[in-house]
Amino acid sequence: MLEDLLGNKSAEKVMFALYANEEIHASAIAKMYNTAIDPIKKQLEKFEDAGFLVSRTVGRSKLYSFNSKHPLHDPLKEIIRVAHEL
């Protein structure tokens, strides 16, 4: 559903995983969807570079979450919520 809007399946997986979990790392998303980790990492980095996500490092893991300070935070989460419910 979000793939058409976001441009690829990895972007959709990342957004749905973040919607379901407040904070998550790339390997957890890859495991959740039984997919390769590299496309997930690249997509997380793109979203972070765009300001939609923020990250923090805990041990050797980089945890990602939505950037609540981004001006599109609320509309983006609402779009994901609706798409997730379909």
pLDDT confidence tier of residue 58, bands split at 50, 70 and 90? very high
CATH code of residue 35: 1.10.10.10
Cα-Cα end-to-end distance for the chain = 8
Give the total number of structural domains in the chain: 1
39-57, pLDDT tens digit by residue?
999 999 999 999 999 999 9
25-41, pLDDT tens digit by residue?
999 999 999 999 999 99
Q: Which domain holds residue 36?
A: 3-85
